[in-house]
Amino acid sequence: MPLVGSILTALGFAADSIAIAQAVRAHVGPQEDLFSTCFRLAVHRHRTHLLRLSDATNVDDIRVDEQALERVLSEFASHSDFCDAVTSSSARRDLAKHFRLAVIIPGHSLTDRQLDDEISRIVISAFEDFITRLPVEVSSTFHARDRDNAIIAGQLSDIRSQLLDIAKVVSSRSQYLDGTQIQNESFQEHFHNPFRIVKAEELDRDSDLLARLFDEPALYRQVQGPSNLVLEGGRGCGKSTILRSLSVRAAVQLASLRGTRKLTFRETGLQYFGVYVKLPRGLFNEWSPDVKLTLDAARTLFQHSFNMMLLKFFIKELVHARDTDLITLTSQAESVASGEVAGLISPEDKAASLSELSKLIAREERSVRNYIGSLRLGDGKQRAYEGEFTSVHDFLDQAMDAFRNAVEDLRGKRVFFLLDEYENLADFQQTVVNTIAKLRPHSLSLKIAARPMGIKSRTDLNGEEIQQPRDYEVLPLDYDVNDRHYRELLLSIARKRLRTGGFGSTHLDALLAEAPPFHTATREAVDDALAAMFGDVTDERHHQFDETLIFRLATSPRRPRTYAGFHDFVALSSGIISTFLELCRVTFYLAEGEGVDVRNGSRIPWPVQNEAAYRVSKAAIDYVHRIENDGPRLTRLVRDLADIFRARLLHHSSAPEAARVTIADPEKLDDEESEVLQSLIEEGVRWTVLHSPGPVGSYLPKHLTDVRSSEFYLNRIFAPALRISHKPRWRTTFTTHQLRALVADDTRKSTLSRLVRKHRSTDEDEGDDEGGKLF
């Protein structure tokens, strides 16, 4: 039985296997090369695990024996009953026996049975991957060779749709094919992937690496200034990395890299001493009011705890700077400052060192915690808090002043508290922080990273409004994919990573091979369609409609458009640096798995990049589903909007690429009955599921005078998985009523089908471009 038949049988599709296998072999050709690719990739992805079972020290020692694999594949061709359905572990082991020699695991001590268990995982993974890639091969052949032969074309078309159904079943049950899984695998350290680090968290504490990989954005000077500042941007836009770069250890390292030797804090001439504080999700609800803790008490206790927390982080950074010789901290200065700050906590308290001061801080934290715990567990009987208490109005300013006066290196410098993930604070907690900003103390500044709409409070504890830019400057960090500076920034980031990783070529745009133009359609097909519609084929017509025509003329319904090359990746990134890096990370991972020698300058073939784009896209949608509280509803909204956009893309005659949502009556979003929709849109913007072309701001609009955005488009990274164009060229207009009905459980289905019908037939031009007419 041919290879395809054996694999279909093994995966449980015996009934279809013979007809499909014979047709594929006859018209598409033997698929040994495709299988070898899948097998190599499967071994690559299992290497981490296999390394532990061997005595090899280098993951590269786990590899495919190409000759043995070739032999196995020739056995497939000569045996008619090579495979049975591998529904049991013993059947899987039987299959694995044939592949034992195709995988080199140096020095392993596995029994045959154990080895076969390991190999069977690889083989099944390769089978699953193979079957999901096969429809593309059939589609390509169908269009490239056989479209003039009606009988063969019909046969291939049937087989393609059967294979698509099978691929769908296999994809849904296979963890190996899961986008998130491959994304996570590609993070493994030993793969030496230059794009391994995507998020600031992944830098661990390596300030040296951060300094080497960091690219200053255009607004960096402003960030380093003395003002309180909100860095506002979606997930992955680089906020955390910028904040981390300001921490004293990274800032000194950055300055040292510009010169030839390691500098001290004083030698850098930095005017600030940065203290990075991540505000983790979930932790701060400990201070939130509930049935036992009143808002007033929560506010008071949080102030004290927040003071203690920031002081603690400052001390830690100071000690680290001293221990690494970045600053000079004499014992006398330490004693003076510690004593003074202890007195600020309580006049009776004394501390002669930072260590004693830290103990006082721990005592205060314990005191608050015990009090709240007692209240909640019902054994405190609602007594008042009897511990010490500090206020945000003056404590931190005075404490920082004490250190600035005592420590020579800090004299005249500001302490920057770099508060990351600010959206994790509740509104009353942000009010506490606003109070510090409002006072604009001369000893310290707040540099805050927040997601769009992540700032929930716009007043201080006295109820006074926060003013911009007096109290906070707000710097938006989201990039426009069409901005030349964004592309240059990405290339520069990539260059540093490739250089640091020891790659021969550091030009990412050269390493990412482009796909054939208009793939999966062809230039001829697009030109023919344009000529049929307009009588001529001009650049303008191409510019206007070629993307649409790719989808309408696509040869692969599952993956209608091919994404490859630097410019496609920039477009899919949606202006989010981490998405771009994620695309690169998975691409490099898959390329290595397929044996592409990128390190020595080989270009990464477009199918590899396309595979990465679809996997990352699918993972991005899965991510949305896991967003707290609103994830499932947001996912439904995204999919429903995509259905509407796809209907326009495939059928609308003048404005097909319409992935831009325009709300005709945005003022109605403030109506009571729009509450669910409004909160969903806000959540979508906060998590960068939706973008707004105009300024959104970190602040939740709460005033009638606030301008509410009336336009949104989907994050472009969803486009491949949703099979829509990533270009939001034209508008799709909805009323608030329609969107409300779309997000309501009971009206969703009927509204969706009505909207799909409406938008596939509406013949109105709602875009910025001059419209033509399509078929």
Partner 1 sequence: MSDSPMEFGSVTDVLPDICDHTLVLCASPEERCLGVVDSLGGARPRRTVLLEIVDEPNSARVQNIERIVTNCGGVRQVERVRIQHKDPVFGIDALSDALEGEGGVIACDISTFPRNTLLLSLRATQRAAPDAKVTILYSEPSTYSSPTSGPLGMRGVAAVPSFAAPYQARDDLVLIVFLGYEGERALGLWQAIEPNRTIAVAPRPAYRDEMAGEAERKNSALLAALAEDDLFVVDARNPVSTYRLLKSLWTDDALARDANVFIAPLGTKPEVVGMYSFCRDHEDAATIVYAGVIDHDQTYLSRGVGRKWLLPFPERSDCG
Residues lying near partner 1 in the complex (CB under 8 A)? 48-49, 52, 175, 178, 180-182, 184-185, 187-189, 199, 201-202, 204-205, 278, 280-283, 285-286, 290-292, 309, 312-313, 315-317, 362, 365-366, 369, 372-373, 376-379, 623, 625-629, 631-633
Tokens of 543: 């510019």
In terms of Cβ atoms closer than 10 Å to its own Cβ (0-12, 13-18, 19+), residue 111 is: exposed
CB of 400 to partner 1, least distance (A): 15
Choose among 168, 190, 10, 164: nearest CA to 87: 10
Quick one: 138 or 177, whose CB is closer to partner 1? Answer: 177
Half-sphere exposure of 397 (CA within 13 A, CB side): 13
Quick one: 297 or 627, whose CB is closer to partner 1? Answer: 627
CB of 377 to partner 1, least distance (A): 5
Hey, CA dihedral for 384, 387, 388, 392, is it positive or negative?
negative
Quick one: 262 or 369, whose CB is closer to partner 1? Answer: 369
Helix (H) or strand (E) segment spanning residue 442:
none
CB of 373 to partner 1, least distance (A): 4
Give the DSSP letter of residue 102: G
Q: Are 436 and 426 in contact (CB under 8 A)?
A: no
Choose among 306, 303, 137, 278: nearest CA to 199: 278
Helix (H) or strand (E) segment spanning residue 697:
none
Q: Which residues contact 411 (CB under 8 A, 6 or more apart)?
A: 404, 405
Give the DSSP letter of residue 55: S
Bridge partners for 733 per DSSP: 662
Strand 63-64 and strand 103-104: the pairing is antiparallel
CB of 165 to partner 1, least distance (A): 19
Cis peptide upstream of residue 520 (ω within 30 degrees of 0): yes
Cis peptide upstream of residue 720 (ω within 30 degrees of 0): no
CB of 623 to partner 1, least distance (A): 6
DSSP assignment string, 319-386: HHHHHTTSS---HHHHHHHHHHHHHHH-TT---SSHHHHHHHHHHHHHHHHHHHHHHHHT-STTPPP-
Quick one: 565 or 631, whose CB is closer to partner 1? Answer: 631
Q: Are 665 and 736 in contact (CB under 8 A)?
A: yes
CA dihedral 367→372→374→378, nearest 10 degrees, is 170
Quick one: 188 or 328, whose CB is closer to partner 1? Answer: 188
Inter-helix orientation angle 32-53/577-593, to 10°: 100
CB of 443 to partner 1, least distance (A): 19
Quick one: 282 or 347, whose CB is closer to partner 1? Answer: 282
Quick one: 205 or 442, whose CB is closer to partner 1? Answer: 205
Choose among 471, 392, 401: nearest CA to 433: 392
**Distance (Å, whole) CA 580 – CA 568:** 10
Quick one: 634 or 649, whose CB is closer to partner 1? Answer: 634
CB of 191 to partner 1, least distance (A): 12
CB of 523 to partner 1, least distance (A): 39
Long-range contacts of 161-170 (CB under 8 A, 24+ apart): 162/16, 162/20, 163/20, 163/131, 163/134, 163/135, 163/138, 164/135, 164/557, 164/558, 166/8, 166/11, 166/13, 166/16, 166/131, 167/131, 167/132, 167/134, 167/135, 167/558, 170/11, 170/128, 170/131, 170/132
CB of 215 to partner 1, least distance (A): 22
CB of 681 to partner 1, least distance (A): 18
Quick one: 88 or 149, whose CB is closer to partner 1? Answer: 88
Quick one: 51 or 549, whose CB is closer to partner 1? Answer: 51
CB of 515 to partner 1, least distance (A): 28
Angle at 716 between CA 194 and CA 34, to 5 degrees: 60
* Helix, strand or coil, per DSSP, at residue 194: coil
CB of 389 to partner 1, least distance (A): 17
Give the DSSP letter of residue 408: G
CB of 190 to partner 1, least distance (A): 9
Helices (H) and strands (E) in the chain, counts: 30, 11
Quick one: 623 or 713, whose CB is closer to partner 1? Answer: 623
CB of 199 to partner 1, least distance (A): 7
How many residues in the chain? 775
Choose among 309, 276, 95: nearest CA to 200: 276
Quick one: 49 or 523, whose CB is closer to partner 1? Answer: 49
Quick one: 313 or 389, whose CB is closer to partner 1? Answer: 313
Quick one: 118 or 317, whose CB is closer to partner 1? Answer: 317
Q: Are 624 and 689 in contact (CB under 8 A)?
A: yes
Q: Which residues contact 627 (CB under 8 A, 6 or more apart)?
A: 634, 683, 687, 689
CB of 733 to partner 1, least distance (A): 30
**Distance (Å, whole) CA 136 – CA 163:** 10
Bridge partners for 445 per DSSP: 416
CB of 360 to partner 1, least distance (A): 13
Quick one: 178 or 267, whose CB is closer to partner 1? Answer: 178
Residue written as token pair 């017509």: 541
Quick one: 28 or 243, whose CB is closer to partner 1? Answer: 243
CB of 570 to partner 1, least distance (A): 24
Quick one: 456 or 660, whose CB is closer to partner 1? Answer: 456
